[in-house]
Structure formats: structure tokens, C-alpha cells
Amino acid sequence: MSDEQAESADEPVDADAADDPDAETASETDEATGLQEGDFVELEYTIRTVGDDQVVDTTSEDIAEEAGIDEEGHEFEPRTVAIGAGHLFQAVDEDLIGKGIGDEGTVHIDSVEAFGEFDPDDVRTISAEKIDEDDRYPGAPVTVDGQQGRIETIVGGRARVDFNHPLAGEDLEYEYEIANVVDDLADRARGLLSMYLDHTPEVWVQTDEVEEERPVEVESDDEDAPEYETEMQTVEKETLYIEATSQMTMNQQWLFQKQQIAQQVTKQLGLDRVIIQETIEGGSVGGMMGGMGGAGGEDVEDALEDVDVDADEIVEEIEEGGDLDG
């Protein structure tokens, strides 16, 4: 036996490793490289139908303009998404694992995973009376009995409506490039809100100290004493502040799904709460006084004279606790 063989024989042997000839070192198995589920990334992407190359969605304004889908007000920029959070097709989520900034990919999405197979039973003939008169033409998007569809034909008092998704039965091709990895909480929040609302409001994250009731265990020999009581404690809460904008207040999805969107954002970002702030700029008072000439003192006095109200009488009644309606 050589000296090297003797030294090797004297070294302790890991029993588990000896039993498993395919066992890898800890450094090879414990350290995952590249992007993983839960990571936030900025994606540049374009989705096309397979076959006719119809652009379905894109973050590129040039591609959108060429395809004729560059809607006014739509923000064309990299989209912030969380891997494995349901923001992407599953096949794209899986393809991103292990990748890094600058990596590109093209993923084929089967129609079943995309928008489902085309169902002939979802093409039905209905009474045209169920459709608004202004929408009674081929190609018009309509909602009938809570279902969205498109009119194929309309003859007399009957309309043939396709209730399948417009892309049902279509395989898709998803081209992407990883523009960046997003670590900042506020940037993650902006990305999520932009995805939900197609608009990016001003946001910030801060730690607030909040007074709230917390249960405290009671130590007592009395069997009838309660096990817990509450006391006010100062606790820290990671808070996302959202500055409400006029675009948000007019956004139908925000109006009807504000609670659900806030819950999704707090869950995905690991925050405690969301506070929505609305700023109203100072200036002249609107409403009735504004309609009577503004908020200036002289204008208010003139307005009172116009409606035949004695200001001194009002003051006297208030001081005496009288009823203004009496």
C-alpha cells in the first residue's frame, strides 16, 4: 500500500455517502443558482399566436404599434412579476427557474394552458332582444346573462354569439428577456399594482408604530379567572402607502376589487397592511358656496343676503341652543 493510499484509508468515511454512490457534495446540492420561485423580476416579453403570428400582448411599444394594439394610455415597459405566483403561464414560470439577468427564452404554450380549447357548445343562438340595439352587429363584444361573447351573425330577431375566449384553441409563443431582478419592496409594489391596474401610482413602504390590543396570559390561582386578558401594546407594522390618483378612482377594477388587490399585494410582499391616501389640493371652496360666488367673506355675506338669511339671528339661536329648523 502506498503512503497516499494509507492516508486515504485513515480518513473517516461518511456512511450515508458510502451507501449512495451518486451522492453529491453539500455545495452542489444545497446552493440553488439563478432565479427561484418567489423571486421578483422585470420581464420584457411578446406573446404571439402560433401560425399566424398575431401579437396578443407585448411590453414593446414598437411591436404594439406595428401590430395596431398600441392603446392610448397603456404603459409599455418591462412588467414586474413574481415567479410562481400565478402571474405567468406555468411553462414560463418553469423556464425562468435558474435563469439570470439578460437571459432570453421562447416558450411554447399549449392552448389548454393558455385560454382553453374551443368549445362548439359555447357558440349559441339567442334572442336579439337580449342585446342592446347599439351592439347588434357582427363582431360586437356583448355580455349576455353574465357571459361575455362576440356576435358572429345577426339575422332578424336572432343572434349567433360565440362565448369562447377570442383566443380559445390557439397555441401561443412567449418570447421573453429578463431585464432585471427586483429586490426593493416599493418597486415590487409598483410593479404589482401596474399589472393589476395598467397604471403605476406613487407608493412607499415604511415601518409604523401602532397601538393595538394584544392578548396577555393571566397568572392567577383563581380557577374562575380568565386565561387571557387584553392590553394596549405598541407594535411595528410594515405598511405600504398608496397615493390615490384620479386614474385609480376611475378604474373599474380598482373600484370593485380594491380589497382583493390590497390583500394580494400584502401577501406577496410580506407586508402587514396597506393605507391608501388621497390628496385634495387647497383652494377655493366648491359646492354650494362656490356656486354662490366663491369662498371669500364678502361673497358669503352677499350670498346670505340673496337668500334672505339674517346671520345675527343664526348666531343668537346657536348660542341659545335653539333649533335652526324651528
85-116 confidence digits (pLDDT tens): 999 999 999 999 999 999 999 999 999 999 99
Q: Name the residue type at position 171.
A: D
**Among 179, 207, 225, residue at a domain's last position:** 179
38-82 confidence digits (pLDDT tens): 999 999 999 999 988 999 999 999 999 999 888 776 778 899 999
**Among 96, 130, 162, residue at a domain's last position:** 162
Q: Note whether residue 251 is domain-resident.
A: yes
Q: Are residues 204 and 174 in the same domain?
A: no
> Of 180-184, 238-242, 282-286, which range is least confident?
282-286
Q: Are strands 79-82 and 40-49 parallel, antiparallel or unpaired?
A: antiparallel
Q: Name the residue type at position 225.
A: A
Q: Are residues 272 and 212 in the same domain?
A: yes
Q: Which of 9 and 279 is assigned the larger pLDDT?
A: 279
pLDDT on residue 286? 46
> Which DSSP string do the residues of 83-146 spell out, in sequence order?
TTTTSS-HHHHHHHTT--TT-EEEEEE-TTTTT----GGGEEEEEGGGS-GGG-STT-EEEETT
3-class secondary structure, 197: helix
Q: Are residues 47 and 135 in the same domain?
A: no
C-alpha cell of 294?
A: 366663491
Whether 304 shows a pLDDT value over 60: the answer reads no
* For residues 261-268, average pLDDT: 90
Q: In what order do the strands lie in the sheet with 141-144?
A: 123-127, 158-162, 147-155, 141-144
Range of the domain at 223: 184-277
Q: Are residues 227 and 246 in the same domain?
A: yes
Would you tell me how many other CB atoms lie within 10 Å of the CB of residue 48? 19
Q: Are residues 73 and 143 in the same domain?
A: no
Record the pTM: 0.66
Q: Note whether residue 30 is domain-resident.
A: no
